[in-house]
A and B are shown apart, each in its own frame.
Chain A
Amino acid sequence: MIQLCSNDDPPVSFTVPRKAVELSKTIKTMLEDLEGFDMEQTPIPLPNVDAPTLELIVKWVEQHQDDPPPVEKPRVEDDDSDDSDADDDQEPEVVIPEWDKKFLPTDDEQKNQLFKLLNAANYLEIKPLLDIGCKYVADKISGQTVEWVRDYLNMENDYTPEEEAKLKEEIAWAEGL
């Protein structure tokens, strides 16, 4: 078992099976580098992850600890999405499993939490979690209006009205949902 500590004051610590925690490439590499030390006794501080986020992470890795490691499979043709030869490794194929759908903090009030989770998944290099998170956000904003996306993601419109009008005209062909 490995102990992970959040960055809160006081830190909150979680005990996680080593197998689960090794889904994080970052921690896996670190444990490998520190082979020989008794890591069961040394809590690992995670200075960029707060307690609620860490709790989510721990939940996720425990759920997925027995997943087979991802294999590099050849792209499957997907007739409605995009053209494969024009678009190699552009749109990775990710399907969000049922459990993960319920797991992700999807309420609009939990947006903060969702992005914190993404940030932490990046920090800990948990690629599958990062992928489903990114996919979820992409699904959420695709098909939405520009204004809605700005509002949802708190992005400031920094175009001048003239610029925006020009740009709008330039990409008019892509409009329409």
Chain B
Amino acid sequence: MPRRLLRRAKKLPMRRSDRLILLSLSLFRFFRFFPAADATSKNTLPSTSTSGPPSKVNRLAAPAVLADASVNKELHVRQAPCSSSSSPAASDYFSFGLLPPHIQKRIFQFLPLRCRVRLERVCRWWRRLLGDCWEHVTTADIPATVTDCFNIRPIDDNHVCGFLRKCGRHLRKIDFFFPHFHIGEHVLFSISQRCCQLRELRLMTDVNGVSMTYLLKAYSHQLSKLESLSISYQAEDGPGIHNGLRAIARTMTSLVTFRLDCYNMPPSVGALFPNSQHMRLYSLLLRQPPAPSRIDQNRWKWVTAEYVDHFLAYLADIYPQLEELDLSLDTNYQVNETQVLKHLRRIGSERPLKRLNLRLSCLFEDYDVWFGATALQALADWRHLTDLSLWTCQLPDNFIDSLATSGLGVRLTKLRLSIVRSLSHDYLCALFARCPRLEAFSLIYSVDDHFHSPRSITADTIEALWMHCPRLVEVELMDCDHVDLTIVIPSMHRYMHSKRSEAIVDRTVPSPVLELSYKTRLNIRLRSLTRLNQCCMRTTRRRDDLFFVTLRRQCDRP
């Protein structure tokens, strides 16, 4: 109360003497935070020539007198000079408490966060000021943010909850990893109580299925306002989180983004789809455990062909606003391609889907026919698709033609082909020729000595890419063993840096820089690559096997 009065008093307009009006025009903002020279000093402000300056005793005493008059015993500032009778020494007095609040806050901003919390005990006023210092904290990665903020290691759930108590109401996004059920429960309770503005939540854990199900059931209601939910559930065995997912599917009706990444899928597909009409991004990653043979095969429910069928059929009926779809289902059965084709057609043609990332199989080399030869014909009907990523599949025979006839080729700006079967130099050249607007292209072969890149895909193939796709910004080549980087670099420079492409730069190319990342098992010396660098080119090594080439399209030194 006195504090508020005191501050208001400081904001009172001061009286100014006439002869200094000019000066005070620019000076007046100085006085906002200052005890104004009060009524007694209306004679003149100090200057070398004229009469006496205002009594500094009065000026300094102003706030104190005011506070004195209101509630003396709640005075925050000890030993404040109380009247004009104070000694000269007292009139010299100036303490922290007399500094304007924004300066006090500024001092607090230099304090370590943990210290800010501790010093809340000093007094009520400090508690309020220090509390304001948290409003910038809107995202948190628990536990990393908490350990970094407070420099405490190791932390426990009390630290996290203390942190949430401070900034919970400002948080909009939380990433939360919890190693135990009890920590998960304590912190989720705190999140659901305090984080009223929370929009995005990501949960990562490997607690057992019963615990996770309990947590999801207990808190999905209280977190039902979330717009984005990601669950990364890493436990490999146990009964899974079926009922927990059902609780989410039932209650989370505001979700716009949903991501699930787990090893164990629920018996009924309905549990995988939160009941929200607003869903824009749906991402599902059902993985095989790294070593399935070690686990009791009977308790492990594989994704059967029927499961995939049900899943896609369900998806085809919901989420009319879906724009991005990530699907990665490991299965060791061959799916019914005709059914999948039917569902994919519906999914893509009835929604504004812009991005598809699809992986519908597990890696069995001995299969004669890979997934996709029939089912992927559906892509021709995806009228809004601009970003396509395909994994472990076989493209339909007429894919190249359908790129042109359906208009898909012209729409595509991003294309990623990972372990796609029966690609060749000629095939890729034909494909590039039909995708003139590509901005990002990735060609990926397997890392672990399976699925080698075909011999025919060489630096010549990549040269065709430069030739047909002038808008390229990003190219990624992984384990394309026969693409020789020492040939690619000069050709990249030749095509992307020529007068012809510079003319295009001005109008349409989205970025002045082209980046190429190249991962290989082969042993390449960086020096042999940097020798090839020309004017606006830079080659670096990120890791032992990862190279990075950057090319500026326009030359600094023409």
Please, which residues of chain A bring their CB within 8 A of the CB of B140?
Answer: 86
**What residues of chain A lie closer than 8 Å to B54, measured between beta carbons?**
7, 47
Minimum CB–CB distance from A162 to chain B (whole Å) comes to: 13
Inter-chain CA distance A84–B121, complex, in Å, is: 26
Interface: A2 (CB within 8 A): no
Residues of B within 8 A of A7 (CB): 46, 53-54, 56, 59
- Which residues on A sit within 8 Å (CB–CB) of B273? none
The answer to whether A91 touches B110 (Cβ under 8 A) is: yes
Stretch of A55-63, A65-73, A147-155 lying at the B interface:
A147-155
CB-CB under 8 A for A43 and B47, given A119-B98, A146-B122, A157-B123: yes
Query: In whole angstroms, what is the CA distance A168 to B122 when docked?
Result: 11
CB of A158 within 8 A of CB of B76, answer yes
Cα(A174)–Cα(B134), bound, Å:
15
Which of B109, B113, B121, B145: most chain A CB closer than 10 A?
B121
- A38: which B residues are within 8 A, CB to CB? none
A146: min CB distance to chain B, Å: 5
> With A118-B103, A122-B33, A146-B118 in contact, do A134 and B93 touch (Cβ < 8 Å)?
no
Q: How far is the CB of B160 from chain A (nearest CB, A)?
A: 9
Q: B225 an interface residue at 8 Å Cβ cutoff? A: no
Q: B121 to A123, Cβ gap below 8 A?
A: no
CB distance from B366 to the nearest CB of A (A): 47
Q: Does chain B have a CB within 8 A of A76?
A: no
Considering the chains assembled together, what is the distance between the CA atoms of A153 and B126 in angstroms?
12
Q: Which of the residues B45, B99, B138, B151 comes within 8 Å of A45, measured between beta carbons?
A: B45
Task: Assess whether B115 is in contact with A143, with CB atoms less than 8 Å apart.
Answer: yes
Q: Which residue of B95, B110, B125, B139 contacts A134 across the interface (Cβ within 8 Å)?
A: B110
Chain A residues within an 8 Å CB radius of B443: none
| Contact residues in A for B23 (Cβ distance below 8 Å) | 30, 34, 44-45
User: Which A residues touch B151, using CB under 8 A?
Assistant: 80
B179 within 8 A of A: no
Closest Cβ of chain B to A91, distance in Å, is 6
Contact A138 B122 (CB under 8 A): no
Q: B26 and A85: CB pair below 8 A?
A: no
Map CB proximity to A onto B141-171 as digits: 1 under 8 Å, 0 otherwise. 1001100111100000011001001000000
A9 touches B76 (CB 8 A): no
CA distance A35 to B124 in the complex (A): 47
Which chain B residues border A47 with CB–CB below 8 Å?
37, 45-46, 53-54, 59
* A-contact bits for B1-44, CB 8 A (1 contact / 0 none): 00000000000000000001011011101110110010000000
Residue of A112, A130, A135, A155 near B126 (CB, 8 A) is A155
- Known A83-B149, A86-B139: A11·B96 in contact at CB below 8 Å: no
Known: A83-B149, A155-B96. A146 touches B77 (CB 8 A): no
Cα A172 to Cα B8 with chains together (Å): 35
Residues of the A chain whose Cβ atoms lie less than 8 Å from the Cβ of B98? 115, 119
A157 shortest CB reach to chain B, Å: 6
Contact: B119 with A146, CB < 8 Å? Answer: yes
- Which of chain B's residues have a CB closer than 8 A to the CB of A158? 74, 76, 123-125
B369 CB–A CB distance under 8 Å: no
Let me know if A11 and B34 touch, CB within 8 A. no
B219 at the interface (CB under 8 A from A): no
- B114 near A: Cβ within 8 Å? yes
Q: Are A92's CB and B123's CB within 8 A? A: no
| A-B contact list, 25 entries, CB within 8 Å | A8-B46, A47-B37, A50-B56, A80-B151, A85-B139, A86-B140, A92-B109, A92-B110, A118-B103, A122-B33, A122-B100, A130-B106, A131-B106, A134-B107, A141-B115, A149-B122, A150-B122, A154-B77, A155-B122, A156-B76, A157-B122, A168-B121, A170-B162, A174-B117, A174-B150
Q: List chain A positions with a Cβ less than 8 A from chain B.
A: 3, 5-11, 13, 26, 29-30, 33-34, 43-45, 47-48, 50, 80-83, 85-92, 94, 111-112, 115-116, 118-119, 122-124, 130-131, 134-135, 137-139, 141-143, 146, 149-150, 153-159, 164, 167-168, 170-175
Known: A7-B53, A34-B22; 12 extra A-B contacts, CB below 8 A, are A30-B27, A83-B144, A87-B137, A122-B99, A134-B103, A142-B111, A153-B97, A155-B76, A155-B126, A156-B78, A156-B123, A167-B127
